[in-house]
Amino acid sequence: MALFDEAQRAWDLQQTANFMKRKKKRPDFNQSEPEFLISCLDRHPDWAVIVCLVGGGQEINTVEAGISEWIDSLLRKFPGWDVHISPRLTDVEYGAGRVIARLKGTPLKVKYKDELHLAVSLRSFRAERVSELVKKVLDLEAASAKETLKAIGADYPIVLTRDLQKAKRWLRERAQGTERYAIDVKSPVDPVDWFLAGKDDVRSSYYLEDVATEFHVQGLELDWACVTWDADMRHTPAGWENWSCKGNKWQRINNDHRQIYQKNAYRVLLTRARQGMVIVVPEGNPDDHTRPPEYYNSTYEYLKQIGFQEL
């Protein structure tokens, strides 16, 4: 039996082949991580079980194969396996709807079981519906997000500001004792010092100076978080626009997979806090061509429309 946590982050064929070439001196490896694991357990003459624990909308790196690769591997090479899955895997954030549709009419024995979906998040003991709220915000379901925010607001405060210093004060006023608080933006940190060092260590999250990316905080939690919403994902009347800053200019992201990774990066950052968070959308600077105010204003107005309290 194999238990694979965060199974949506299993490596695709290219990343697995690169690893096997570098670390195992096998230059011609031709299996993705899911296919390789299934092949190992498929050698058992009687039975074997693989339990894949997956999170919706958690793929944030181009080397991650996603949930669909597990099913694709079975369809390609292992038609004799029984498959037990949640019918909720067809939801958009899981990205597996298309491949699950292909299961019909195949030799695989597929059973859909509602009880395989864990609908209640254990990350936040105060608000079980934070992930639901974040999903609706990112899916541009403003009216529904507004209702969800009203339902959780009393127990899980989320505030909105354009002033980073106000955000820092808000965090420090609410955290009690050793409750951990931090700023999440895209910049490297040492995650050991950031998560574990004390309040007198400038490298720790308490100092609100060093910041962490979605790659450092995936799978981990904080009590309180400050999430800075940059101009890389901008709200517009037509929906989200995805951008990447290269050198001294922004470049539009047109690749579907990269757009999904960027959306999921915000999903990860917005679901790290157990007790509450502050979202900072910068004012921008009209004298800086890389961050004019219009890159940020629509995003701020969208979040304000949903009902996030302004500081």
pLDDT digits (tens, 9 = 90+) for 113-131: 989 887 665 555 555 688 8
Distance, in Å, from the CA atom of 309 to the CA atom of 157, rounded to the nearest integer, reads: 9
Other Cβ atoms less than 10 A from the Cβ of 285: the count is: 12
Please give the pLDDT value at position 175.
81
Counting Cα atoms < 13 Å in the Cβ hemisphere of 95 gives: 24
Report residue 195's pLDDT band, with 50, 70 and 90 as the boundaries. Answer: confident
Is pLDDT above 70 for 170?
A: yes
Asked whether the CA dihedral 35, 38, 40, 42 is positive or negative, the reply is negative
Percent of the chain with pLDDT over 70: 83
What residue segments make up the domains of the chain, in order of their start? 2-116, 130-310
The more confidently predicted of residues 65 and 52 is 52
Please give the pLDDT value at position 97.
66
The more confidently predicted of residues 193 and 167 is 167
Predicted TM-score (pTM) above 0.85:
no
Look at strands 109-112 and 82-85 and give their pairing. parallel
Q: List, for residues 207-242, the tens digit of each pLDDT value.
A: 777 666 655 555 567 789 899 999 999 999 999 999
DSSP-derived letter for residue 64 is B
**Residue 223 vs residues 6, 32, 159, 242, 305: alpha-carbon distances, Å:** 22, 36, 15, 29, 26
Question: What is the chain's mean pLDDT, rounded?
Answer: 85
Distance, in Å, from the CA atom of 37 to the CA atom of 28, rounded to the nearest integer, reads: 17
